Structure 1
Amino acid sequence: MRTQTFPHHAPAQQPEVALIGAGAVGLVVAAAFARAGWKVLVCGARHPFAHLRVHEVGQGAGHGADYPVQHARTPAELAGCRVAIVAVKAHQTADVADWIVALNRADARILVAQNGLEQCERIAAYAPKAVGLPAIVYFNAERSAPGCSVLRRIGPTDLCLPASRQTQDLSAALQAGGLRVTTAEDMTTVVWTKLLANSAANPLTTLCGRHTGVMREPDFVASARQVMTEVARVGQAEGAALTAQHVDETLAWLQSVPPESATSMLQDRQAGRPLEYDAITGAIVRAAERHGLDVPLNRLILGLLSAIRPTQA
Structure 2
Amino acid sequence: MITPTTSLDWVLLTTKAQDTAGAEGWLRRLCGPGAAVAVLQNGVGQEERVAPLVPEGTGILPTVVHLSAERLAPGRIRHHAASELHVPEGPLADRFAALLSGSGLQVHRVPDFTTAVWRKLFTNLAANPLTALLQQRMGVFADPGMARLSRELLCEAAAVARAEGADLGEEDIARTLELYAAAPPDGGSSMLYDRLAGRPLEHEFITGAVVRAGERHGIATPLNGMLLTLLRAVDRDLRAGRA
TM-score normalized with structure 2 length: 0.92
Q: What does residue 168 of structure 2 align with?
A: 242
Decide whether the 8 Å contact of 1:85 with 1:111 is kept in 2.
yes
Misfit runs of 4+, over 6 Å: none
Higher helix residue share? 2
Q: 2:32 & 2:225 partners in 1: Cα distance? A: 38
2:7–2:29 contact (8 Å) kept in structure 1: no
- Residues 114-139 of structure 1: per-residue CA shift (max 9 Å, x gap): 11112111111211531211111111
Cα offset for 1:103? 4.2
> Matched residues, percent identical?
39
1:266 Cα deviation (Å)? 0.4
Match of 2:102 in 1: 176
Maintained 8 Å contact 1:137/1:160: yes
8 Å CA contact retained: 1:104, 1:126: no
The equivalent residue for 2:68 is 140
> Which of the residues 140, 152, 155 maps onto 2:80?
152
Shift, 1:179, TM fit: 1.5
Q: Please say if 1:298 is aligned against 2:219.
A: no
Q: Matched residue of 2:105: which SS?
A: coil
Q: 1:192–1:235: 8 Å Cα contact kept in structure 2?
A: yes
Q: CA offset at residue 147 of structure 1?
A: 2.9
Distance in 2, matches of 1:159 and 1:253, equals 17
Cα deviation, 1:50-75, whole Å, max 9, x if unaligned, reads: xxxxxxxxxxxxxxxxxxxxx53x5x
TM-score by length of 1: 0.72
Match of 2:28 among 101, 107, 128: 101
Matches within 5 A, 1:139-218: 139-154=67-82, 158-218=84-144
The alpha-carbon deviation at position 144 of structure 1 amounts to 2.6
Q: What is the aligned counterpart of 1:260 among 157, 178, 186?
A: 186
- Secondary structure in 1 matching 2:109: strand
CA–CA separation in structure 1 for the residues paired with 2:173 and 2:64: 18
CA deviation map 1:254-284 (0-9, x unaligned): 2222221121100111111110101111111
List alignment gaps of at least 5 residues for structure 1: 1-70
Q: What amino acid maps onto 1:108 in structure 2?
A: A
Structure 2 unaligned residues grouped into runs of 5+: none
CA distance in 1, matches of 2:101, 2:108: 9
Deviation at 1:106, TM superposition (A): 4.9
Query: Which of the residues 33, 38, 48 maps onto 1:121?
Result: 48
1:83 correspondence with 2:18? no
TM-superposed CA distance for 1:105, in Å, is 4.1
Q: Residue in 1 aligned with 2:158? A: 232
* Structure 1 counterpart of 2:35, one-letter code: A
Q: Distance in 1 between matches of 2:32 and 2:153?
A: 40
Equivalent of residue 37 in structure 2, options 104, 107, 110: 110
Give the distance between the partners of 1:106 and 1:120, measured in 2 at CA: 18
Residues 104 and 129, structure 1, Cα contact 8 Å, conserved in 2: no
